[in-house]
Amino acid sequence: MKACSRLLVGLGNPGPEYEGTRHNIGFEVLDLIALREGLIFQSANQLEGFDGVARARCARIFDPDAVLVKPMTFMNRSGEAVAPLAQWSGASPEDVLAVYDDLDLPLGALRLRSGGGAGGHNGVRSLIEQLGTDRFPRLRVGIGRPATDAVRHVLGEFSSDERPDVDISVAEAADAAFEWLRVGDLEKLMTRFHSRWTQGESSPDDSRRK
């Protein structure tokens, strides 16, 4: 019997010095869902029935049946926190959705995909290594290409001009992620949300994803 049906994993780095940075947008999406649903993040060892070791903050939700996971291992070791929880949950790789930042998408752009390579993202690479597969769904949140240094870019905070548009994208990502928790049908979600997001990109009144 499964301990839970699905895992929603937001990638980021622990600690106040990383709050608000581009690399932590996965955390922001999960934090918003938790706020909306009245959930509290606790240590993974407080999950009922979990007796493994996972450096993660987790929030249990029963309707829909899932656990929200924020790895506390730092980005490049995210999989070490997620793999024990995936094993405990009994969820298949298709029932583990990772939410994370993407340099290759314009600021605020959102894309769902069913699997694939790491695309240069160290957190995703760690998930692939520790889960033993790349066949888990992802929700990518665009943070835009840096003019120079990529590391400095992802670890930097959004500017005050960027922040309002980022907040809108985080809210839309939270909508999509929660709907995935409810229905689990990624193809249907891709059809519904990609159409919605593409309309946003082409709208003359909405320049935030151009």
| Positions marked active-site | 23
Which among 33, 12, 27, 4 is positioned nearest to 124, based on CA atoms?
A: 12
How far, in Å, CA of 133 to CA of 94, rounded?
10
How buried is 53 (Cβ within 10 angstroms: 0-12 exposed, 13-18 middle, 19+ buried)? exposed
Question: Residue 185, by phi and psi: left (phi above 0), alpha (psi -120 to 50) or beta?
Answer: beta
SS3 call for 179:
helix
Write the single-letter amino acid at 159.
S
d(CA 208, CA 183): 29
